Structure 1
Amino acid sequence: LEGDDYTEPSLDTELTDGMSVTVNRVTYTEETVTETVNYDTVKINDSDMEVGTEKVQTQGVNGEDSVTYKVKLVNGKEDSKTEISRKETKKSVNKEVRVGTKLPDNYNSVEPNGVTTWNGYSVGDTVSGRYSHYCACSICNGNSRGVTTSGRRIQNGMQNPYYVACNWLPLGTVIDVDGQLYTVADRGGSGLSKKGRIDIFTPEGHSMCYALGVGNCTITIVRLGW
């Protein structure tokens, strides 16, 4: 044996009649390849653009690195490789996207709280959503106490407070659902943990929930949390 050659079974194995012993020849070589370096996307807040709008300012361009590997060959076939050097040969260019933060006129009643990002979501993000409806009855809530997770009270017949239940945004978040503002005031079952799923409180009662049904919507995050 030479260098890193090895046997199967190992050298300290006692030989027996009829045993087959394989000698594995280990050699090393080097190879240099060109690898793509993916560009990053950078979002830039723009107070002159309305919430929910985006504009690409700079297109991203992938870069390239020249990478040298030490390759381990066992019986002439690649077994593993280890990077030993890397050199940038083409610099990547970040994609820059301007994101609107200006609130439209109908958002003037929403008091900002200074929070711009939370758990991967940002003010101004637009999400493809799906809605359903619930009311304050025991069928929808399991009880009729009329207390949301946030502590806000609800009852059928009240003036519409424009609340929604969802699990993927913090309580107090204000969202625009197809042009109507709602506050996240309640939580719900595991189905509401999926991004974009909301349950809209409907003070007109259970029959109205059925009448309004379910559907698709566009959700824009106006404020994150209280």
Structure 2
Amino acid sequence: GLTNAKYYERGHFFWDERSQTLEEQVLEPIQNEVEMGLTLDELVTKVSAERYYAELFTSAFGDAVVTSERISLALAQFIRSIISTESKFDLGRSSNFSNFTPQENQGRRIFNGQGRCDDCHGTDNFVSDTVFNNGLENPYTDPGIGAITRRQQDLGKFKTPSLRNIALTGPYMHDGRFRTLEEVVEFYDSQVVNHPNLAPQLRNNNRPIRLNLSEAEKRALVAFLNTLTDPNLTTDPKYSDPFNYGD
């Protein structure tokens, strides 16, 4: 997701990390034929035709000239402003999570303990500065970062996404194969597939890990993941209605 993108320490974007900067990343969906399907020249023409952008470009860059580089700079800075800091999890940190239900606290303990989720999502942003093969399949239909680096040891490795607002960002995994968080938890509990590049965090005695969570523990883990949702961010007019924001 785009939430807290500024805190991705690796600074690479897309599941296969093919974009080295956020400025590179924002122009790809615009040009992708499955998404917006515009050339950069067409983009510049469309933006230049909207009168209200002249004032905005002048304010940001000193004059009203529209270029694809300036568009990428503006979009990247906008994305960097999307920060999540007011989830139930954030609000509970100062009180040892006294605002959590017993089920949510159970899920938090599983996340940091038996579930080993924090091995890959252990920072305040619930992200990692390392890429992983998480055992989705063998062989991989999508080589992931291996397609970029051309290295055998990178096959099936993908960027580790932030879990902030994860309840709102399905479907899950690089190919969207899981529709719900319950499916994701079930996968990590009992369905991780062996692969030469499988992350060490997902191995036990050199075999794919099996968490053996009970159904109640799985529900608790999902309940905890829901505490990472920031309702203020999702309703902030800066993002939900930016053209009317500040009027």
TM superposition score normalised by structure 2: 0.22
**Quick one: higher RCO (CA 8 Å, sep 6+), 1 or 2?**
2
Structure holding more strand per residue: 1
TM superposition score normalised by structure 1: 0.24
Structure holding more helix per residue: 2
